[in-house]
Structure 1
Amino acid sequence: PKVEKIIEGLVNRPERKWLILNKVDIAAKEKLLALTEKLLNLCAFEQIYYISAATADGLAELKTAIGEAMPESEWHFPEDQVSDASERLAAAEITREQLYLQLHDELPYASTVETEKYSERPDGSVEIYQQIFVERESQRAIVLGKGGSRIKAIGAAARKEISDLMGVPVHLYLHIKVKAGWDEDRSVYRDMGLDWVE
């Protein structure tokens, strides 16, 4: 139902539309083809790609196609600048990445990270408070880990990467909050640097 709702919002949009189906390494071919046909009946997709993020099947072709589809233009940013995201947003993305890297299949996919407070200390270090939102209490337990071990590991790895990126010591404080339906909260998307599209 969530995918169908997203597709309904895409149908009348003028942009080119590509259908990219993940997890082909574990999907039954017959079901995958039936799903593809169903989705094609809902929306006219220009291209269809079958990929597996786990095994990298189809990723090279997808990356090539994305590269070829990009219009040529002048550089919008210096060549060595990897992102236009603010340090606050970059810090949240790094912590979100650690959720994926450390939780693997246990990851509560219905989760996000929001930087609540970001400030510089007089000694030049940075203090960051982040909320990890999950939808259910059982997901909170997964992120927390036994005796808080998982959240400590996530925090340590994120702290190091953020510190390396910024070139200053970082004090990172993570809190996990259960917030059912966070994915319908427009402010969460705004804080991620995304626009809400009706």
Structure 2
Amino acid sequence: MTSETENPAQAPERFGFVAIIGAPNAGKSTLVNQLVDSKISIVSHKVQTTRARIRAIFVEGRSQVVLVDTPGIFVPKRKLDSAMVDNAWAGATEADAVIVLVDARRGLDEQVQGIIAHLKAHNTKAMLVINKTDLVRPEQLLPLSQKLNEAYGFSKTFMVSALTGSGVAKLKAELVALMPVGPWHYPEDQ
């Protein structure tokens, strides 16, 4: 055991940003709300409800994690669309950890392929989170995970239902562990 395990109060403070990127309606805002245990981001069936990056903070032990809920990434057709997609990618480049959220029902569709192509082009380390696992048959999940990991070498893979909270605790623990040592940027009660 380390001294941190024996006395968590002596553990160093950790702080970092986590960008959550994915296609429109993959469940990014729902996942943010689940991770912070509060309704911070608007959730709607309407595509592109999130038009700008939204930040939400959670504290776990001595770690403060800022989640960056980004607009959905898609092939832009208008200037406003391009600005939203650029905004989403900017959130990813500034983060300590990147989550690529994929809707289990849609799988490796054209939008996810575009996201993966961008990750490859920029050599971005990312973890895969397959969401909406409660809406597909369990036997579909492993082949989907394998297909996505063959398309891109994700650092880790998680399967969750952001709506029900299934699998979110494991993801949250991983995010806390990934945060670099450093002082908190926000007061604990904010």
Q: Specify the TM-score bucket, using the shorter chain as the normaliser.
A: 0.3 to 0.5
Of structures 1 and 2, the larger Rg is shown by 1
More helix by share: 1
TM norm structure 2: 0.39
TM norm structure 1: 0.38
